[in-house]
Chains A and B, each alone.
Chain A
Amino acid sequence: MERVIVSMQDPDMGIKMRNQRLLITVIPHAMTGRDIVDWLIQKYSITEEEALHTGNFLVKYGYIYPLKEPRNLCLKQDETPYRFQVYIHTIYLARKNIRKQGELIEYEKECYNALHKRINHTWDFVVMQAREQLRASKQRRKSDRIVLECQEQAFWLINRPPPGVMDILEEGPERRNGANTRVQLVSGILETCAVDIEHNRKSLGRNRIKSSICLESFVKYCEQYQDHDPIMQGCLPSNPWITDDIMYWNMNAEMVPMPTKLRVERWTFSFMELLNDPLGKKELLTYLEKEFSGTHTLHINTHIQWLAKVFIPLKRFHILQFLAPGASRWVNIDSKTMEKTLQGIKHPHRFVMDDAQMHIYFLMKKDSYPRYLKSELYKNLLARAVVPQETKKSVFPFMRRQRHSSPSPALVTQTAEDNGKAQPNTGKTNTGTAAQI
């Protein structure tokens, strides 16, 4: 913010200060609200709305104060005159003190010095003028009086906001940072240095990929998913948040009899996409069962089934659901992985299933997944998949649809425990009544 103020006061590129009228008094070295907004628009290539918004902050933080209605700290885009606050350095330090205990870092120091220089010039000039007037007549000029009064009021409004008024200088809970933490022991510093060095050495050795390849992949990803991004392309039949119609959610519910085309297409993007969709996972399982029914080409080792039973409660990786007891036996694990896994079982740790899981996962990704995508089962599903119709605009667009509530996920497990105790809401309008509070 200081940077902006410094720019504003630049004698060449800054705002032109003129004599401004306040009723019948003429105030020298002031600018109008209109001037401020126009300058911001021009300098930063922003819209009027944004310039007004930013300008308001300059006033609210006290860098500029109004000469009319000084209790109302906001920027008015009209002929209201404004001046730069001379108590600026005090406000600035107050702000910084709250966060960083008075320590100014390099670039802030620069800004502050530049600001101080500018303000001092203006202030000196005003003081000089005032002295002149005093010599000429014992009475201070009315304009000076008004200016001083407004200055003071604005300053105190910011530093001691009256009750009920927002405190613009408020920050969140105190954060420590490198600069103001407790004194570090020599041993601590040595340790941090050693760790840094080790880390940097390792980083030097890592494999990096050329930027052109990495960045190209982002372009491809964005392109691929563009149609699946409701905020970018909209969604069919309509975005529920905009039209209050939850058809989109119903059609894309976890287990629908007929999924949408977009959803089925998405399974071709990556193996992870297929597995992330419960419906996709179910389809894959169906395919595999069909493919291997009657043959014993691939045979799952019974030990793996037992492992799956033991570790399912952990639910740490969705692949486990594939290996649920009773699932088709269709994947083999090489003996080395098996041995390692069995060893792990003897001394269980969190990752004991990981190697086996990884192995199965990558086998499926390389083998079963591409075959599924080429299968008749998938192709048929894709052909039959639904493309929703866009919701026709309502005949009475100002009439809001009823917003239906949905059963809470917490309910799903509860009704399993106690039948009928909690009734799910069904399609009643719920505006404002809080059910459980």
Chain B
Amino acid sequence: MAAQEVQPSETIAKLKSESEALKTKLEEERAKLHDVELHQVAEKVEPLGQFVMKTRRTLKGHGNKVLCMDWCKDKRRIVSSSQDGKVIVWDAFTTNKEHAVTMPCTWVMACAYAPSGCAVACGGLDNKCSVYPLSLDKNENLAAKKKSVAMHTNYLSACSFTNSDMQILTSSGDGTCALWDVESGQLLQSFHGHAADVLCLDLAPSETGNTFVSGGCDKKANVWDMRSGQCIQSFETHESDINSVRYYPSGDAFASGSDDATCRLYDLRADREVAIYSKESIIFGASSVDFSISGRLLFGGYNDYTINVWDVLKGTRVSILFGHENRVSTLRVSPDGTAFCSGSWDHTLRVWA
């Protein structure tokens, strides 16, 4: 009478082995087309000379750990956020503070500058992303004009405007990413696929401008189609949480920094990891990465307070920069590539050139 019921554990085991088999086949297919290593191709390239970069500006003013920063398109202004809930807009060139907002939560882990330069977005443990228009009126309370845009069910880990002030892309500890309309606060698209907290994201610089990459605690880096919400490519070679992802300037590859103390380069057209940037003496995780304008240099901020500079093509370390007195938590190259800025748990930001 009772129909033969397959044990759920059997089904899971069967599915899991099918999944594993497919994965192995996928790796085989990928390996078939891998006919050369990056450093081999780069042998003919001129090695880089002596590298001298120094701290040119130190921005002091945060009362606690700096967690995130972003550049303004004008190439000199910066927004930064910290553990004590403060979000500050600086003219990094003069080191003046221009605006300050106190968020109602601590650990503001994400902040972004709007492309127009007229607003900033930020969020963290409040599970939201809010947009503040920047007003130059001294009497105006910035917090009053705040607009709540994104709502997640766990902390906000990263946010970024798309190519206009109108849309924001967010990633969260709830394992999802989402695209929002700023004006209405409406959810336009959500992206599901990570099995754990999503820690970082970056928008592709392509002409069609509708993909982005995200990295998470499930050790995966996923590439998404913004229109359909589908995950179009996935890479799982890191051995620990991926803290930061950044596209190569041409948009054909992206780099990632992880708690496993390595940074890696993934090629989107070859559909595989093509380089690992690591050294036995580097034992702390990389918290943030970014490329120089030409893509030749990869800057990595690490939890051992240093910044390592890598030759992307040859795979070697070019330089190590000391200066911060605690973890480097965030790092971005300026829009015109003249400098890069690093933020640290030592409460300061430094601009290097």
**Chain A bound to chain B:** yes
Name the B residues within 8 Å of A84 (CB-CB).
none
Bound together, the chains give a CA A333 to CA B18 distance in angstroms of: 48
Bound together, the chains give a CA A196 to CA B136 distance in angstroms of: 50
Bound together, the chains give a CA A235 to CA B241 distance in angstroms of: 37
Q: Is B276 an interface residue (CB 8 A)?
A: no
Binary A-proximity of B94-137 (CB < 8 A = 1, otherwise 0): 11111110000001010000001110000001000000011111
Bound together, the chains give a CA A224 to CA B36 distance in angstroms of: 22
B283, A413: Cβ atoms closer than 8 Å: no
A208, B250: Cβ atoms closer than 8 Å: no
Q: Is B143 an interface residue (CB 8 A)?
A: no
B138, A436: Cβ atoms closer than 8 Å: yes
Q: Is A222 an interface residue (CB 8 A)?
A: yes
Q: Is A249 an interface residue (CB 8 A)?
A: yes
Name the B residues within 8 Å of A137 (CB-CB).
none
A408, B227: Cβ atoms closer than 8 Å: no
* CB-CB nearest 7 A-B residue pairs: A409-B117, A44-B281, A225-B294, A241-B353, A229-B294, A200-B22, A193-B15
Those of B180-234 within 8 Å (CB) of chain A:
188, 193, 195-197, 199, 207-209, 217-218, 227, 231, 233-234
Name the A residues within 8 Å of B207 (CB-CB).
271-272, 361
Those of B1-41 within 8 Å (CB) of chain A:
8, 11-12, 15-16, 18-19, 22-23, 25-26, 29-30, 33-38, 41
Q: Contact partner of B271 among A43, A206, A361, CB < 8 A? A: A206
B74, A177: Cβ atoms closer than 8 Å: no
A217, B135: Cβ atoms closer than 8 Å: no
B15, A214: Cβ atoms closer than 8 Å: no
A235, B338: Cβ atoms closer than 8 Å: yes
Q: What are 13 A-B interface contacts by the 8 Å CB criterion?
A: A57-B283, A173-B107, A173-B125, A193-B19, A197-B22, A211-B270, A213-B269, A214-B252, A214-B267, A218-B250, A240-B338, A350-B188, A414-B135
Q: Which residue of chain A is the closest to B36 with respect to CB atoms?
A: A212
B241, A403: Cβ atoms closer than 8 Å: no
Q: Is A4 an interface residue (CB 8 A)?
A: yes
Q: Is A242 an interface residue (CB 8 A)?
A: yes
A176, B337: Cβ atoms closer than 8 Å: no
Those of A178-203 within 8 Å (CB) of chain B:
178, 181, 186, 189-190, 192-197, 199-201, 203
A434, B118: Cβ atoms closer than 8 Å: no
B295, A435: Cβ atoms closer than 8 Å: no
Of A143-151, A310-318, A389-397, the one with at least 4 CB within 8 A of chain B: A310-318
Name the B residues within 8 Å of A410 (CB-CB).
117-118, 133-136
Name the A residues within 8 Å of B234 (CB-CB).
199, 203
Name the A residues within 8 Å of B152 (CB-CB).
none
- Find the residue from A178, A214, A252, A317 having the highest chain B CB count within 10 A: A214
A430, B94: Cβ atoms closer than 8 Å: yes
Those of B146-183 within 8 Å (CB) of chain A:
155, 162-167, 173
B93, A408: Cβ atoms closer than 8 Å: no
Q: Is A165 an interface residue (CB 8 A)?
A: no
Instruction: Count A-B contacts at CB 8 Å.
Output: 302
Bound together, the chains give a CA A235 to CA B294 distance in angstroms of: 13
Nearest-neighbour CB distance to chain B for A338, whole angstroms, equals 20
Nearest-neighbour CB distance to chain B for A339, whole angstroms, equals 20
Q: Is A221 an interface residue (CB 8 A)?
A: yes
Name the A residues within 8 Å of B167 (CB-CB).
316
Name the B residues within 8 Å of A350 (CB-CB).
188
Q: Which residue of chain A is the closest to B34 with respect to CB atoms?
A: A211
Binary B-proximity of A232-250 (CB < 8 A = 1, otherwise 0): 1001000111100010110
Name the B residues within 8 Å of A433 (CB-CB).
96
A408, B155: Cβ atoms closer than 8 Å: no
Bound together, the chains give a CA A376 to CA B143 distance in angstroms of: 53
Q: Which residue of chain B is the closest to A409 with respect to CB atoms?
A: B117
B296, A222: Cβ atoms closer than 8 Å: yes
B313, A219: Cβ atoms closer than 8 Å: yes
Q: Which residue of chain A is the closest to B125 with respect to CB atoms?
A: A173
Interface residues on A, range: 35 or more
Q: Is B289 an interface residue (CB 8 A)?
A: no
B279, A44: Cβ atoms closer than 8 Å: yes
B94, A314: Cβ atoms closer than 8 Å: no
Bound together, the chains give a CA A322 to CA B273 distance in angstroms of: 39
Bound together, the chains give a CA A192 to CA B133 distance in angstroms of: 40
Q: Which residue of chain A is the closest to B142 with respect to CB atoms?
A: A436
- Find the residue from B72, B100, B133, B313 having the highest chain A CB count within 10 A: B313
Q: Is A23 an interface residue (CB 8 A)?
A: no
Bound together, the chains give a CA A400 to CA B59 distance in angstroms of: 18
Nearest-neighbour CB distance to chain B for A128, whole angstroms, equals 33
Q: Is B58 an interface residue (CB 8 A)?
A: no
Name the B residues within 8 Å of A316 (CB-CB).
162-164, 166-167
Name the A residues within 8 Å of B233 (CB-CB).
203, 206
Interface size on B, residues (CB 8 A): 116
Q: Contact partner of A211 among B36, B45, B199, CB < 8 A? A: B36
A53, B306: Cβ atoms closer than 8 Å: yes
Q: Is A383 an interface residue (CB 8 A)?
A: no
B98, A176: Cβ atoms closer than 8 Å: no
Q: Which residue of chain B is the closest to A228 with respect to CB atoms?
A: B293
Given contacts A49-B322, A178-B196, contact A431 B76 (CB under 8 A): no
Q: Contact partner of A196 among B19, B25, B99, B292, CB < 8 A? A: B19
Nearest-neighbour CB distance to chain A for B171, whole angstroms, equals 13
Bound together, the chains give a CA A409 to CA B136 distance in angstroms of: 10
A175, B197: Cβ atoms closer than 8 Å: yes
Bound together, the chains give a CA A204 to CA B95 distance in angstroms of: 52
Q: Is A18 an interface residue (CB 8 A)?
A: no
Q: Which residue of chain A is the closest to B42 with respect to CB atoms?
A: A219
Name the A residues within 8 Å of B41 (CB-CB).
212, 215-216, 218-219
Bound together, the chains give a CA A184 to CA B135 distance in angstroms of: 47
Q: Which residue of chain A is the closest to B269 with respect to CB atoms?
A: A209
Bound together, the chains give a CA A45 to CA B282 distance in angstroms of: 11
B271, A231: Cβ atoms closer than 8 Å: no
Nearest-neighbour CB distance to chain B for A435, whole angstroms, equals 6
Q: Is A411 an interface residue (CB 8 A)?
A: yes
Q: Is B84 an interface residue (CB 8 A)?
A: no
Name the A residues within 8 Å of B155 (CB-CB).
173
Q: Which residue of chain B is the closest to A433 with respect to CB atoms?
A: B96
Q: Contact partner of A225 among B35, B53, B76, B249, CB < 8 A? A: B249
Q: Which residue of chain A is the closest to B30 with respect to CB atoms?
A: A208
B74, A409: Cβ atoms closer than 8 Å: yes
Name the B residues within 8 Å of A309 (CB-CB).
none
A437, B97: Cβ atoms closer than 8 Å: yes
Name the B residues within 8 Å of A197 (CB-CB).
15, 18-19, 22
B33, A209: Cβ atoms closer than 8 Å: yes
Bound together, the chains give a CA A231 to CA B296 distance in angstroms of: 10
Name the B residues within 8 Å of A166 (CB-CB).
326
Name the B residues within 8 Å of A240 (CB-CB).
76, 93, 338
B313, A222: Cβ atoms closer than 8 Å: yes
B295, A230: Cβ atoms closer than 8 Å: no
Q: Which residue of chain B is the closest to A318 with respect to CB atoms?
A: B163
Name the B residues within 8 Å of A409 (CB-CB).
72-74, 77, 116-118
Nearest-neighbour CB distance to chain A for B85, whole angstroms, equals 13
Name the B residues within 8 Å of A271 (CB-CB).
207
Name the B residues within 8 Å of A175 (CB-CB).
173, 196-197, 199, 217, 241
